[in-house]
Amino acid sequence: MSSLNKIYQRMVRDHLLIVQSVQASCLMTIGDIIAQKVIEKKSEIELKRTARFTVLGLFLVGPSVATWFKFLSNTVGDKDKNAAIKKVVLDQLFFAPGFLPIFLVALNTIKGNSWQNTKDDIKDKYLDIMKANYKLWPVAQFVNFKFVPFQYQVLMNQSVAIFWNTYLSWKTTQSMIKTK
C-alpha cells in the first residue's frame, strides 16, 4: 500500500491536472451509476447518460476543481489559521454559484438540448441545486481545506462528490423527464 501511495504522490506532483481530471471522471461515473441503480432503481444503466458524466468529469469538473483549488492555495495559502474558512467563503460565494450554470450548460449541450431548454433547465434547477450545495459543501470543504494536504484535496472533494454527483445525476435527469 505504501508503494501505491508513493506512486500516487509522484503522479499528483508531476501530473496534477491529469490525475485530478481522471479522478473526477471516475468518481462522477460512480455517482451516476449509483443514481441510476440505487435511487432510480433502473434495471439497466443508460450508458449514454453515464458517458456524459464521465466526459464532464474528465474535461470540465476535474480541471476546473483542480485549477480552483490551486488558485485558492496560491491566493489564500495554508499558513494562516483562518485559511480554511477563507477558502470555504471564496469557494461558496464564487466558485459554486458560478460553476453550476457552466456545468448545467455543458450537460445540456452534450445532451443535445436547445439553448431554450438549457435556459429553462437552469431556471428550473439552479436554486434547488444551490440550496442542496449549501447543505453539504461548506462543511465538507472546511474539513477538506483544514485537514487534508493539498495534493489530496481534489480526491477528498471528489470522494464526497460521489454523493453530490449522485444527487446531480438524479436532479438533472428529473429535469429531462419533465421536459419530455
Per-residue pLDDT tens over the stretch 7-33: 888 998 899 899 989 999 999 999 999
Residue 115 CA to its chain's centroid (Å)? 23
Q: How confident is the model at residue 176 (pLDDT cuts 50, 70, 90)?
A: low
Q: What is the pLDDT of residue 119?
A: 96
The residue with greater pLDDT, 143 or 169, is: 143
Q: How confident is the model at residue 126 (pLDDT cuts 50, 70, 90)?
A: very high
Q: What is the mean pLDDT of residues 82-95?
A: 97
Task: For residue 94, give the C-alpha cell.
Answer: 464564487
Question: CB neighbours of 130 closer than 8 A, spacing ≥ 6?
Answer: 96, 97, 100
Of 74, 122, 114, 76, the closest CA to residue 98 belongs to 122
Contact 83, 117 (CB under 8 A): no
Q: Rounded distance, CA 146 to CA 139, Å? A: 10
Of 157, 131, 158, the closest CA to residue 27 belongs to 158
Q: What is the mean pLDDT of residues 85-110?
A: 97
Could you tell me the pTM of the whole model? 0.89
